Amino acid sequence: MASAPVRNPLVGFALAILSAVLLSAVAGFASTFVPYLEFRIFSLGVALCGIGALAGRKTYLGTLGFMGAYLGSFLGFYVAEVLFWVRPGVDILLLALGLALAAGLGGWVTGKIGVAKLERAAQFAPGIRRCSSCGARVGTSAHKCWSCKATLTY
């Protein structure tokens, strides 16, 4: 079984932010066509939770999934609100913060699933070899066992 590639956690964090920004801006623009404010807020909460779940899949840790989805969806949704929403009397900053929290929770849930990927990749990593004579751990480039001085054949 081939091991899955493991990327830098900061790259996953940046990908989570970028995907959340783009998808939440699209969802914010699409919500302008919904006529009732209450239905718009409910549907945006569900949609942003799904967007956070998609963004959280880019990371391996739940906290990075939460923060990436939260920051990205806040930025994307706030920009979409400022540019496209025309609702006087609605505090758009608080609405963006609350709906970004829904996206962050979605990112946290799917980011926690990624820890199993790391454990599975570490299990198949070629970083540890054992001596066939005594069973001691040896390095990947070792020619002789440090414990019993046997020659390593593999």
Does the residue 104 lie in any domain?
yes
pLDDT of residue 2: 46
Kindly report the number of other CB atoms within 10 A of residue 78's CB atom: 20
For the residues of the chain, what is the DSSP string, one character each?
Answer: -PPPP---HHHHHHHHHHHHHHHHHHHHHHGGG---HHHHHHHHHHHHHHHHHHHHTT-SSHHHHHHHHHHHHHHHHHHHHHHH---TT--HHHHHHHHHHHHHHHHHHHHHHHHHHHHHHHHT-TT-EE-TTT--EE-TT-SB-TTT-PBP--
Q: What are the pLDDT tens digits along the chain (154 aa)?
A: 444 455 677 888 888 899 999 999 999 899 888 888 889 889 989 999 999 888 888 877 778 888 888 999 999 988 888 888 776 667 888 888 888 998 988 888 887 666 666 666 666 666 677 888 888 888 777 888 888 988 887 6
Does the residue 146 lie in any domain?
yes
Q: Is there a single domain that holds both residue 80 and residue 152?
A: no
Number of domains comprising the chain: 2
Kindly report the number of other CB atoms within 10 A of residue 83's CB atom: 11
Kindly report the number of other CB atoms within 10 A of residue 3's CB atom: 13
Q: Is there a single domain that holds both residue 34 and residue 89?
A: yes
Does the residue 50 lie in any domain?
yes
Q: Is there a single domain that holds both residue 148 and residue 116?
A: no
Q: Is there a single domain that holds both residue 104 and residue 67?
A: yes
Does the residue 46 lie in any domain?
yes
Contact 16, 56 (CB under 8 A): yes
Does the residue 4 lie in any domain?
no
Q: Is there a single domain that holds both residue 54 and residue 79?
A: yes
pLDDT of residue 3: 45
Q: Is there a single domain that holds both residue 85 and residue 53?
A: yes
Does the residue 54 lie in any domain?
yes
Task: Residue 133: give the domain boundaries.
Answer: 128-154
Q: Is there a single domain that holds both residue 116 and residue 140?
A: no
Does the residue 2 lie in any domain?
no
